[in-house]
Amino acid sequence: MKSLLIKMNVNGVDREVLVDPDDRLLDVLRDELNLKSVKEGCGTGDCGICTVLMDGKPVLSCIIPAFQANNHKIVTLEGLNSDPTMQKIQQSFRKYQAAQCGFCTPAMEVVGWHLLNTEKKVDKNRIKEAISGVLCRCTGYYDIVDAVYEVAQQ
């Protein structure tokens, strides 16, 4: 029986969820709120695949206990899909074939979106730095950097 009631604003909607003290934010987002863009890679805070925004900053949802999200604002890719900058990023990912297996793509796009929305001048080195916390097994990263850079120049 879940014992803690937490309140979060998730993708602009106020939600109340019952959680156990050891539930992870990742599981609550995926299993309770059905936000399947949030993926689990390592589960130990090393790969960045589970990245979401908490109060506007990228965090690793696999190492955040769900109760720590109480009274915080969470944004996942589902909450950004209709954002004009995100739509440009996704278009650019298609153009540069920056998504191959796609497993890292939601985290890459969220991190790219965060970068473009928080910094005015973004060069390729800055993009490399920003996405360096997200592991991609497929692309070699260059296509992802090019895709984000194209939107940065617009």
Which residues in this chain contact ligand FES in the complex, by CB under 6 A?
A: 40-43, 45-50, 60, 62, 99-105, 136-139
Contact between residue 119 and residue 148 where contact means Cβ atoms under 8 Å apart: no
Closest approach, Cβ 84 to ligand FES, in A, equals 24
- Residue 5 or 101: which CB sits closer to ligand FES? 101
What is the rounded CA–CA span in Å between residue 8 and residue 16?
7
Beta carbon nearer to ligand FES, 18 or 42: 42
Length of the chain, please? 154
The distance from CA 112 to its chain's CA centroid, rounded to whole angstroms, is: 9
- DSSP H helical ranges for 72-123: 84-95, 105-118
Nearer to ligand FES, 44 or 82 (CB): 44
Nearest distance in Å: CB 98, ligand FES? 8
